[in-house]
A and B are shown apart, each in its own frame.
Chain A
Amino acid sequence: KNQVEQSPQSLIILEGKNCTLQCNYTVSPFSNLRWYKQDTGRGPVSLTIMTFSENTKSNGRYTATLDADTKQSSLHITASQLSDSASYICVVSALVSNFGNEKLTFGTGTRLTIIP
């Protein structure tokens, strides 16, 4: 069964500090891994997308890494800001013959709170 597990479930850090969120997955056959940011009451917004051959991808202060051998990914946030308070969701895509040729498995997210 395809699964995506994220840790920690929640995290509180001071504004300006860095943090790293973790994602472990068992999804096959692997196509790509995405990180999304979901603000409270809003839909998920894409931060990064990485394919099998990519081991790092940045988007401003967000840097995602992927180790396809160990099936692990991390999202590092640098110099956190109050606006970074949100849930961060790891999503792994599998190539399939149905579901429009791609099945997404969503993690349950890490709830990040930035305090002043």
Chain B
Amino acid sequence: NAGVTQTPKFQVLKTGQSMTLQCAQDMNHNSMYWYRQDPGMGLRLIYYSASEGTTDKGEVPNGYNVSRLNKREFSLRLESAAPSQTSVYFCASRTGGYGYTFGSGTRLTVV
């Protein structure tokens, strides 16, 4: 049982380049989330998907787009990367209840 799988684990982009961070969960969870973690700050919500077919903005959505491809997959796209988007990105999922399961993260550096 893999839980939440994120790819890639590491990425270096040049300013202005685009990329898509992939996330997949195998727990049949309804809700999926994208967070970013920056030094000295708590995790902040970028986008979430409460169920298949729906997506909504979180606290810091600017510069990002998302796609809930199916119940398993939730991708995060950076259309034109900026140095301020250098961060560690975590995908999470949950189904009702209280428990969130996090992936291992993608460490992104924009130069």
A91–B50 CA distance with the chains assembled, in angstroms: 20
Question: Quick one: CB contact mask for A45-87 with B, threshold 8 Å, 1 for yes?
Answer: 1100100000000000000000000000000000000000000
Q: Are the CB atoms of A108 and B98 closer together than 8 Å?
A: no
Main secondary structure of the interface of A (DSSP, over half): strand
A residues with CB within 8 A of B: 4, 32, 34, 41-46, 49, 89, 91, 93, 98-100, 103-109
Query: Are A106 and B56 touching (Cβ within 8 A)?
Result: no
Instruction: Judge whether A46 and B100 touch: CB under 8 Å.
Output: yes
Given contacts A49-B99, A104-B45, A106-B43, contact A98 B56 (CB under 8 A): yes
Of the candidates A42, A46, A93, the one whose C-beta lies within 8 Å of that of B104 is: A42
Bound complex: CA A99 to CA B98 (Å):
14
Chain A residues with CB below 8 A from B100, complex form? 46, 104
Identify the closest chain B residue to A6 (Cβ): B42
Residues of A within 8 A of B99 (CB): 46, 49
| CA of A89 to CA of B41, assembled, Å | 11
- From A43, A91, A99, A109, name the one whose CB has the most chain B CB atoms within 10 angstroms: A43
- Count how many chain B residues have C-beta atoms less than 8 Å from C-beta atoms of the other chain: 22
* Residues B95-111 near A (CB distance < 8 A): 98-100, 102-105
- Which residues of B pack against A, CB within 8 Å? 4, 31, 33, 40-45, 48, 50, 56, 58, 90, 92, 98-100, 102-105
Please pick, from B31, B45, B98, B105, the residue contacting A42 in the complex, using a CB distance under 8 A: B105
16 additional contacts (CB under 8 A) given A44-B102, A49-B98 = A32-B98, A34-B98, A41-B104, A42-B105, A43-B92, A43-B104, A44-B43, A49-B99, A89-B43, A91-B42, A93-B98, A100-B31, A100-B56, A103-B45, A104-B43, A106-B42
Q: Contacts A43-B4, A98-B56, A99-B58 hold; do A108 and B42 have CB atoms under 8 A apart?
A: yes
- Provide the residues of chain B in CB contact with A98, threshold 8 Å: 56
Say yes or no: B102 contacts A43, CB within 8 Å.
Answer: yes
Q: Which of A32, A43, A49 contacts B103 (CB 8 A)?
A: A43
Q: Closest chain A residue to B51 by CB distance?
A: A100
Given the complex, which residues of B lie within 8 Å of A103, measured CB to CB?
45
